[in-house]
Amino acid sequence: MNNELISKLCDLHDLSDEELGCLINERTPEDAKRLAAEASELRDRVYGKKVFMRGLIEFTSYCRNDCLYCGLRRSNHNAQRYRLTKEEILSCAENGYMLGFRTFVLQGGEDPYFTDDVLCDIVSSLKEIYPDCAVTLSVGERSLGSYKQLYYAGADRYLLRHETADADHYGILHPKELKLSHRMECLSDLKSIGYQTGCGFMVGSPYQSTESIVKDLRFIKSFSPEMVGIGPFIPHCDTPYRNQKAGTLEFTLFLLSIVRLMLPDVLLPATTALGTIAENGRELGIMAGANVVMPNLSPNDVRKKYSLYDNKLCSGDEAAENVNELRRRIESTGYKLVTDRGDHIRFSK
C-alpha cells in the first residue's frame, strides 16, 4: 500500500511526476479506499455535504470535427443530426428552472450554424429571463474574440476538456487538423477572459499510458481550473474505436480522488459516462470526491440522438425530470443535492 505517498499528497496537494506514476501503477484496493476517504473529507471541508446540479442541454449533434472516439464525428453517417431552436432551448431552461436547476450547461458539437450572433442571442436571452442562473457553455474551440463576445453576452463558465495533455497521444485520438497546442491556447484564452473554466480527459482512452495520465494531472495542477471533467472512455460502434476497451470504474474513481486531492476546491462532476458503466457509478463518484451531477434537460425526442458513445444514459436518474429520484440516491450517500448556482469557492488552508 502507498500510505506514505497518499499522506504526502494529502499534505502538499501535489506529488512529483514519478510519485504520481508510482501511485497509479502500484495502486491497490486499499489505496483507492483511503484516497476516496481523504478526498471526501477534503471536499466536505471546502464545500460541505453539498452536491451541485447542472441542467445539461445538448443543443446540437452536428459537428465539423472528426475526433476518432466520438459518435458525433462528422464522418459518422449513421449519426442522427439535430439542432434545437432558440425557443426549444429556452423551453428546456424553463422546465429546468421549475425543477430547481440554477445552472444551465449548453453543450454541442462544433456546429457552424451557431455563429457568435446566434449563440450570443441565446445566452443573453437566458440571462435576461433567469438572472439568478449561471450559464455554462461547452461548444469546443472558438476564437478569442468569440469567447469574449459570449462572455459579454453573459456566459459564466466554459467546459473544454483538453482530452489528453500528451501531444503524441492527442495526435492519435484526433485528425491532424486538430492540435493540442490550439486546445491549450483556447483554455488559456477562456481563463484570461474570466470564465470559470473546466478542462478534463477520458479515462482509458485508446493508447493512453500512465505517462500521459501523469501529464494530464501535471497540466490540471498547473492550470488550476475551476472545474475538471473526467469520465471513462466508452466505445461507439460507428467510430474507428468500436472495438477498443472502455475505461474502468475503478480507475476513474481512483483518478477522481487524486484530482480532488490535488485541487481541493475544484468542481468535479460524477459524469454521465460514469453512470453509464456502472449502475451506481454516480454515487460512487461522489464518494470518491466528486461534487457535481449533470442530469439531462434536453427534449426527450432528441436525447438518444446525442450519442457520444454506446448505451449513453439519458433516462432514469439521468433525466432531469427524475430529479427527486436522483436526490434520494445522493442523499443515501449522506450528501445533499442543492439547487444553488454552485459557484467555485477558493480554498485556503
Grid cell 451541485 — which residue?
52
The single residue among 140, 264, 289, 295 that binds ligand SAM, judged by CB under 6 A, is 140
- Inter-residue contact 110 to 139 (CB < 8 Å): yes
Amino acid at 179: K
CB of 225 to ligand SAM, least distance (A): 14
Question: Which one among 124, 138, 248, 280 touches ligand SAM, defined by CB under 6 A?
Answer: 138
Q: Which three cell numbers stand for residue 19?
A: 510519485
**Of positions 35, 249, 273, 293, contacts ligand SAM by CB under 6 A:** 273
Q: Which amino acid is at 92?
A: C
Q: Is 111 in the site for ligand SAM (CB under 6 A)?
A: no
List CB contacts of 152: < 8 A, sequence separation 6 or more: none
Q: Does 202 contact ligand SAM by CB under 6 A?
A: yes
From CA 59, how far away is CA 105, in angstroms rounded? 10
72 touches ligand SAM (CB under 6 A): yes
| 180 near ligand SAM, judged by CB under 6 A | no
Cβ 5 to ligand SAM shortest distance, Å: 28
Binding piece for ligand SAM, criterion CB under 6 A, among 69-77, 92-100, 211-219, 286-294: 69-77
What separation in angstroms does the CA of 211 have from each of 94, 177, 208, 216? 45, 24, 8, 9
Per the DSSP assignment, residues forming a β-bridge with 301 are: none
Among 24, 51, 56, 70, the residue binding ligand SAM under the rule CB under 6 A is 70
| Residues 6+ positions from 197 with CB-CB distance below 8 Å | 157, 158, 159, 160, 187, 190, 191, 225, 226, 227
Site track for ligand SAM across 218-257, x = CB under 6 A? -------------x-xx-x---------------------
Q: Quick check: 109 binds ligand SAM (CB under 6 A)?
A: yes
Note the residues at the interface with ligand SAM (CB under 6 A). 69-70, 72, 107, 109-110, 138-140, 160-161, 163, 202, 231, 233-234, 236, 273, 308-309
